[in-house]
Chains A and B, each alone.
Chain A
Amino acid sequence: DVKVTQSSRYLVKRTGEKVFLECVQDMDHENMFWYRQDPGLGLRLIYFSYDVKMKEKGDIPEGYSVSREKKERFSLILESASTNQTSMYLCASSDRGTNTEAFFGQGTRLTVV
């Protein structure tokens, strides 16, 4: 059974903390994505990576950074968490070719207080 695993389902952090969200996939996919999902706004792309050590900004990269040191792992970093980063964060992976099927993790519900 193919899997994208996110390290935490629920996370509560304080304003100003540095936050790491980890994602691991076991499908040998080249592409990995980080989205945030908010009511009425859908999935908004934060960053994506199409290869190890490669990354590209998505639609809302401000306040975030990413790291991809190994093919199977893609980390999202909130350098200094703020309350407006309270959201559901979803990681996904897909084959490089057509990008037609992305497999998603269960999501991390992050609350910044």
Chain B
Amino acid sequence: QKEVEQDPGPLSVPEGAIVSLNCTYSNSAFQYFMWYRQYSRKGPELLMYTYSSGNKEDGRFTAQVDKSSKYISLFIRDSQPSDSATYLCAMSDYKLSFGAGTTVTVRA
């Protein structure tokens, strides 16, 4: 069983829709939970991170962590075509472990 599970999609939504992404994990030692965004032919870049359980909001992006369920989510409100990318969840104890990534396309 992989430590981090993420549905690779792809996901296609119309502009303005809410995008919902999620990951599950098995390692209880993970303390930091991150979301990275990767545009085509580029390396991933950190979007946001949360520590332990709870919510974090940054503009149109909201990250949620539920450690009791070993489940994390990312929501993108009012999605834009520029949000089209692959989104990867990542988790950290002493090393970084990534999910498979979900490819999102926002249609104009």
Assuming the contacts A40-B8, A42-B6, A43-B88, asked whether A99 and B96 have C-beta atoms less than 8 A apart, the reply is yes
**Chain A residues, CB < 8 A from B90:** 102
Compute how far the CA of A94 lies from the CA of B98 in the bound complex, rounded to whole angstroms: 15
The answer to whether A42 touches B100 (Cβ under 8 A) is yes
> Could you tell me the distance in whole angstroms from the C-beta of B3 to the nearest C-beta in chain A?
8
**Chain A residues, CB < 8 A from B41:** 106-107
In the complex, residue of chain B having the shortest beta-carbon distance to the beta carbon of A98: B32
Listed in ascending order, the chain A residues whose CB lies under 8 Å from chain B are 4, 33, 35, 40-45, 48, 50, 56, 58-59, 90, 92, 94, 98-102, 104-107
List 12 A–B pairs whose Cβ atoms lie within 8 Å, in order of A's numbering: A33-B95, A35-B98, A41-B100, A42-B98, A45-B96, A58-B95, A92-B43, A98-B51, A99-B32, A104-B43, A106-B43, A107-B41
Q: A99-B94, A100-B32 are in contact. List 10 more A-B contacts (CB 8 A).
A: A33-B95, A35-B98, A43-B44, A43-B101, A45-B96, A59-B97, A99-B95, A100-B51, A104-B43, A106-B43
